Amino acid sequence: MDRIRTAVIGTGFMGRVHLEALRRVENVDVVEVAATSLDKARAAAAGYNVLNSTGDWRDVIHDPSIDAVHITTPNVSHFPIAKAAFEAGKHVLCEKPLAMNVAEAQELVALQAAKKLRGGLNHNLRYYPMVQQMRGMREAGEFGEILVVQGTYSQDWMLYETDWNWRVDPKVSGPSRVMADIGSHFFDMAEHVTGLQVSSVCSDLQTFWPTRKQPKGGGESFSGKLGATGETVDTPIVTEDFGATLFRMGRARGTMTASQVSAGRKNGLVLEIYGTKGGATWRQECPEELWLGHRDTPNQVLLKDPSLMIEPARAYADYPGGHAEGYPDTFKQLFRRFYASISDTSLTPDYPRMADGLRQLKILEAELASHKAHAWMDVPA
């Protein structure tokens, strides 16, 4: 099998997770790391044994020997980098959200199709084995017709006025924070698992901290008590700390909340689905378990074990029962499938695509419009 030469652009929390996961993809060599400074790029490259580094992402784009790029930079640069990469003939795996708005995302979807390149979007959370088990069981009809979809994505890392990260700046992150950053994971998973599409939304957003104390030296994601200390500037905040959405998926009905201020919840994505024959609940904080709900017999908890999983889901579990697979493994599963589709152009992509990124931005724009108008909004197909 030909080896694929790839580069990672961005060396924050996500860049490091991508670099690590890429080392677990058999036919890929990471040949360059790009950051906003050469020093940062060198430090990340050294940590993952990558030979080349640059302080300018354009060097990667202009290198004809590079086949694919991973974009793990703050949101505002996803669009220009992805556009330049497609124009230069490179496959793109982009962090979410795909772009700052629907119009940019539409341009990327069209460009990728015109160039006949592969484009993946990192909604990695689909690839926990027990999420695939839930999807496989739903496809096999085990829950019957899905009636109710409920859940949350709750975190606490932005609870205090002193918590700071680039995601609070709308010029860098976009007009929404929690709905774009984590609400989008909930909806991607809800649609992926149920096979239904969100058709309309009614949303309420809240910014609890109208100003935050911005550290003069910047702040890291999830730094919590280890966060920056020292001089700060009081900075006005316009993006939401919390959001709630009522939604319709055709005949099915649902509710979700997304929060970065829920004390004690570290990465609490919960998806509950209830159908005419049974229900299921998956929790990211206990990802190896799937709760199965029954009306007339005792409920069950299925612990991940490939030998007990439904056939299509088994391929997403690489370890035996009792050998936990977690967050970093979801990246490995997604990247393997992305690179397999580059090696074998006849493969139908089995990973979130540019179109899925566009879909999430359509849901997001409907949520923002709904909050503003205090009204239900339809989500265009």
Q: How far is the CB of 92 from ligand SOE (least distance, A)?
A: 18
Q: How far is the CB of 62 from ligand SOE (least distance, A)?
A: 29
In the bound state with ligand SOE, the residue whose beta carbon lies nearer, of 9 and 182, is 182
What pairing do the DSSP bridges indicate for beta strands 200-206 and 268-275? Answer: unpaired
Return the residues of window 134-173 that contact ligand SOE according to CB under 6 A. Answer: 155
In the bound state with ligand SOE, the residue whose beta carbon lies nearer, of 28 and 182, is 182
Q: How far is the CB of 96 from ligand SOE (least distance, A)?
A: 6
Q: How far is the CB of 262 from ligand SOE (least distance, A)?
A: 12
Among 182, 273, 280, 309, binds ligand SOE (CB under 6 A): 182
Give me 117's structure tokens: 């390149």
Contact 55, 35 (CB under 8 A): yes
Q: Using CB atoms within 10 A of its CB, is residue 198 exposed (0-12), middle (13-18) or buried (19+)?
A: buried
Contact 161, 213 (CB under 8 A): yes
Q: How far is the CB of 267 from ligand SOE (least distance, A)?
A: 6
Q: How far is the CB of 221 from ligand SOE (least distance, A)?
A: 6
C-alpha Rg value of the chain to the nearest Å: 21
Q: What's the rounded Cα separation, in Å, for the pair 185 and 353? A: 14
Q: How far is the CB of 200 from ligand SOE (least distance, A)?
A: 25
* DSSP three-state, residue 368: helix
Q: How far is the CB of 17 from ligand SOE (least distance, A)?
A: 9
Going residue by residue from 253 to 282, which x/- string records binding to ligand SOE, judged by CB under 6 A?
--------------x---------------
Return the residues of window 322-341 that contact ligand SOE according to CB under 6 A. Answer: none
Closest alpha carbon to 61 in 86, 44, 38, 41:
86
Nearest residue to the partner ligand SOE, using Cβ: 181
> Of the listed pieces 1-9, 82-90, 181-189, 208-216, which binds ligand SOE according to CB under 6 A?
181-189
Closest alpha carbon to 44 in 64, 70, 80:
70
Q: Over 56-100, what HEC string results?
A: CHHHHHCCCCCCEEEECCCHHHHHHHHHHHHHCCCEEEECCCCCC
In the beta sheet, which residues pair with residue 153? 258, 269
Q: Does 223 bind ligand SOE (CB under 6 A)?
A: no
Instruction: Please compute, for residue 246, the number of CA atoms within 13 A of its CA located in the half-sphere on the CB side.
Output: 9
In the bound state with ligand SOE, the residue whose beta carbon lies nearer, of 53 and 239, is 239
In the bound state with ligand SOE, the residue whose beta carbon lies nearer, of 274 and 331, is 331
Q: What's the rounded Cα separation, in Å, for the pair 334 and 123? A: 9
Give me 65's structure tokens: 């020997």
Among 163, 169, 181, 240, binds ligand SOE (CB under 6 A): 181
Closest alpha carbon to 53 in 79, 31, 21, 29:
31
In the bound state with ligand SOE, the residue whose beta carbon lies nearer, of 14 and 366, is 14
In the bound state with ligand SOE, the residue whose beta carbon lies nearer, of 82 and 117, is 82
Q: How far is the CB of 8 from ligand SOE (least distance, A)?
A: 16
The torsion of the CA quartet 173, 177, 178, 179, rounded to 10 degrees, works out to -90
> Of the listed pieces 179-187, 196-204, 296-304, 336-344, which binds ligand SOE according to CB under 6 A?
179-187
First to last CA, the chain: 38
Among 52, 77, 207, 221, binds ligand SOE (CB under 6 A): 221
Which residues of this protein are in contact with ligand SOE, per CB under 6 A?
A: 155, 181-182, 185, 221, 267
